[in-house]
């Protein structure tokens, strides 16, 4: 029996979460170092997964399968394709930076310095981060639909406490009002995602009933269902397949998030600390777009084709709407949140363009967006912690007093607008090319999102970093060593993957070909004949 590597990648942060929570209250620093050590060890295991994965081999590799709930056909089944490998690597990569960036976010506050402010234990903050990592890794590796559903929903609980219990206090004049806003954001996050999850649960049960009727024995195995559909052994009535697709898709669209199910994200990111905001949009939300590729297209190919025109319209609305609202924001973190809504529109556009370039670009976009948003949001968090305000109008001239902070903020912003030479450019270009080849009108509309992105990023930089130095920022310190250790590797990755994306594309492209075969799609033939 081979070593259960995927289980180990998920189990290590899960065990680390319990161990971190158990550290005595008087040893907060030890809890931080333990969480960092566990996250780095998880990164090493994720790197082993990436090196062990053979892009030219079987579709699902490093597989594990054990009986879980035998009476209902539920199994503990894990396996990764190239898309899963890339996203597990992204998750494991970002968590150490999240831990480092949040090093002091849950430190106790002296009563004299902040009367009435109550902070949860430092150990709990880092334990919850590791718990989220474990659940996300299982979600990216699960090939049993029920197993995926359990962890898809379970990750909401630690995220709820991270948003509501360890929210951002920057600029909060009244602790009671700040706590009320954090509670509202956390409850809204939980209710939106629980509602989507309940709809998905009904669809999961419906899928089991269909397999039991068609195959004689119910199953939740993704691989078994896809193979049965491909061989014709399992067929679904048109209306049944469409209803099941909608049940899955709505849950994933909330998590992604896709307009008009997006409204929880600006509240959640705005009221969270910067590291938790990164955890939301760079890690947790990727489970939604990943699941569209793995489950919606794999399980319901005909319904996916049926829904494509509507999904493309919603994706385009997300791109333009998110960018326009980002332009009008006065709050730095909410601006980044609306920018992320626009970026998720690009990802979903690429997925449902049903081309190899579009889906390959969408997968790269998930990875590159995670890195670029982490860089921008974490630097923004360092900026906000110094000034104590999230309002853009409270800044000005920062580049003169903190040039390294301003420079890294600029690179993160330029990556967000997909500047050539930085990693997101490659993925956005592939999404647009893949969309143009099948849906030219959609590709044209999506291009306007790039123009709007340049506007909100450059205006943000101009208003915060240039111009006269405001009195409130005259003594602002530049990035410290710990902060540089967070930002510098992310910037380096943005440049490296911008000029050399081949390691990622080699892993992702074979998985994309398998996904396209599930929906029986091929790339459109060129409409212009080559010169003879």
pLDDT score, position 375: 94
In this structure, what are the phi and psi dihedrals at residue 501, rounded to the nearest 5 degrees?
-85, 0
Residue 22 CB coordination number (10 Å) = 11
Confidence of residue 1 (pLDDT cuts 50, 70, 90): low
pLDDT score, position 24: 87
Residue 365 burial (CB < 10 Å; 0-12/13-18/19+)? buried
pLDDT score, position 394: 87
Cα angle vertex 506, ends 502, 512, to 5°? 125
Residue 522 burial (CB < 10 Å; 0-12/13-18/19+)? exposed
Q: pLDDT (tens digit, 9 = 90+) per residue, 463-521?
A: 999 888 888 888 889 889 999 999 999 999 999 999 999 988 999 999 888 888 877 77
pLDDT score, position 304: 92
Confidence of residue 112 (pLDDT cuts 50, 70, 90): very low
Q: Where are the domains of the chain?
A: 300-522
Handedness of CA 496, 83, 256, 69 (dihedral sign): negative
Distance between CA atoms of 127 and 130, rounded to whole angstroms? 5
Q: By the 8 A CB rule, do 261 and 192 touch?
A: yes
- Position 120 pLDDT exceeds 70: no
Find the helix or strand (DSSP H, E) in which 77 lies. strand 74-80
For the packed helices 423-438 and 481-499, what is the interaxial angle rounded to 10 degrees?
40
| Residue 168 DSSP symbol | -
Q: Can you tell me the mean pLDDT for 241-270?
A: 92
For the packed helices 423-438 and 403-416, what is the interaxial angle rounded to 10 degrees?
10
> Parallel, antiparallel, or unpaired for β 74-80 and 61-69?
antiparallel
- Position 162 pLDDT exceeds 80: yes
Q: pLDDT (tens digit, 9 = 90+) per residue, 263-310?
A: 999 989 888 899 999 999 999 999 999 999 999 998 999 999 999 999
pLDDT score, position 116: 45
- Position 133 pLDDT exceeds 50: yes
> 380-406: b or e for each residue (b if 16 or more CB lie within 10 Å)?
bbbbbbbbebbebebbbbbbbbbebbb
pLDDT score, position 115: 45
pLDDT score, position 318: 95
Confidence of residue 117 (pLDDT cuts 50, 70, 90): very low
Residue 40 CB coordination number (10 Å) = 13
Q: pLDDT (tens digit, 9 = 90+) per residue, 183-221?
A: 888 899 999 999 999 999 999 999 999 988 888 788 888
| Residue 272 DSSP symbol | B
Q: Can you tell me the mean pLDDT for 223-227?
A: 88
Q: Can you tell me the mean pLDDT for 404-426?
A: 92
Distance between CA atoms of 422 and 369, rounded to whole angstroms? 11
Q: By the 8 A CB rule, do 398 and 473 touch?
A: yes
Distance between CA atoms of 427 and 433, rounded to whole angstroms? 10
- Position 111 pLDDT exceeds 80: no
Q: What percentage of the chain reaches a pLDDT higher than 90?
A: 60
Mean pLDDT of the chain: 89
pLDDT score, position 327: 92
Closest by CA to 125, choosing from 111, 108, 105, 147, is 105
Q: Can you tell me the mean pLDDT for 19-45?
A: 92
Handedness of CA 296, 297, 303, 309 (dihedral sign): positive
């Amino acid at each position: 029996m081979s070593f259960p590597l995927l289980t180990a990648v998920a189990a290590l942060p899960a065990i680390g979460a319990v161990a971190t929570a158990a550290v005595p209250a008087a040893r907060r620093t030890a809890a931080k170092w333990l969480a960092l050590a566990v996250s780095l060890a998880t990164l090493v295991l994720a790197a082993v997964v990436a090196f062990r994965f053979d892009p030219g081999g079987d579709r699902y590799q490093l597989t594990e399968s054990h009986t879980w709930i035998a009476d209902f056909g539920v199994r503990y089944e894990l396996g990764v394709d190239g898309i899963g490998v890339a996203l597990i690597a992204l998750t494991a990569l970002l968590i150490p930076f999240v831990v480092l960036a949040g090093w002091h976010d849950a430190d106790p506050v002296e009563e004299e310095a902040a009367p009435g402010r109550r902070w949860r234990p430092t150990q709990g903050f880092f334990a919850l981060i590791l718990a989220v990592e474990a659940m996300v890794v299982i979600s990216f590796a699960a090939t049993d639909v029920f197993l995926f559903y359990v962890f898809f929903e379970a990750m909401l609980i630690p995220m709820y406490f991270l948003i509501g219990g360890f929210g951002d206090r920057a600029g909060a004049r009244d602790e009671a009002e700040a706590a009320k806003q954090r509670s509202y954001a956390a409850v809204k996050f939980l209710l939106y995602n629980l509602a989507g999850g309940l709809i998905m649960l009904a669809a999961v049960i419906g899928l089991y009933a269909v397999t039991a009727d068609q195959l004689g024995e119910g199953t939740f195995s993704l691989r078994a269902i896809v193979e049965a559909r491909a061989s014709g052994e399992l067929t679904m009535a048109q209306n049944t397949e469409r209803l099941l697709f909608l049940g899955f898709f709505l849950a994933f669209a909330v998590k992604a998030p896709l307009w008009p199910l997006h409204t929880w994200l600006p509240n959640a990111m705005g009221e969270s600390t910067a590291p938790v905001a990164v955890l939301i949009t760079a890690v947790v939300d990727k489970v939604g777009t990943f699941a569209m590729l793995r489950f919606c297209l794999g399980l319901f190919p005909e319904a996916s084709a049926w829904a494509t025109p509507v999904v493309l319209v919603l994706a385009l609305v997300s791109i333009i709407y998110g960018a326009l609202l980002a332009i009008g924001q006065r709050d730095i973190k909410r601006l980044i949140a609306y920018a992320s809504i626009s970026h998720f529109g690009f990802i979903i556009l690429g997925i449902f363009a049903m081309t190899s370039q579009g889906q390959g670009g969408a997968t790269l976009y998930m990875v590159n967006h995670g890195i670029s948003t982490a860089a921008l949001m974490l630097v923004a968090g360092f900026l906000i912690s110094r000034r104590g305000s999230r309002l853009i109008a409270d800044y000005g001239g920062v580049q003169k007093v903190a040039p390294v902070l301003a420079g890294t903020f600029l690179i993160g912003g330029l990556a967000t607008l997909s500047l050539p030479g930085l990693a997101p450019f490659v993925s956005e270009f592939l999404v647009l090319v893949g969309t143009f080849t099948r849906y030219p009108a959609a590709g044209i509309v999506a291009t306007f999102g790039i123009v709007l992105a340049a506007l909100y990023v450059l205006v943000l930089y101009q208003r915060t970093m240039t111009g006269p130095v405001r009195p409130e920022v005259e003594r602002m310190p530049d990035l410290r060593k710990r902060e540089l250790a967070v930002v510098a590797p992310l910037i380096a990755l943005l440049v490296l993957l911008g000029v050399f994306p081949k390691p990622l594309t080699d892993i992702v492209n074979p998985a994309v070909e398998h996904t396209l075969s599930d929906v029986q799609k091929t790339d459109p033939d060129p409409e212009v004949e080559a010169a003879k």
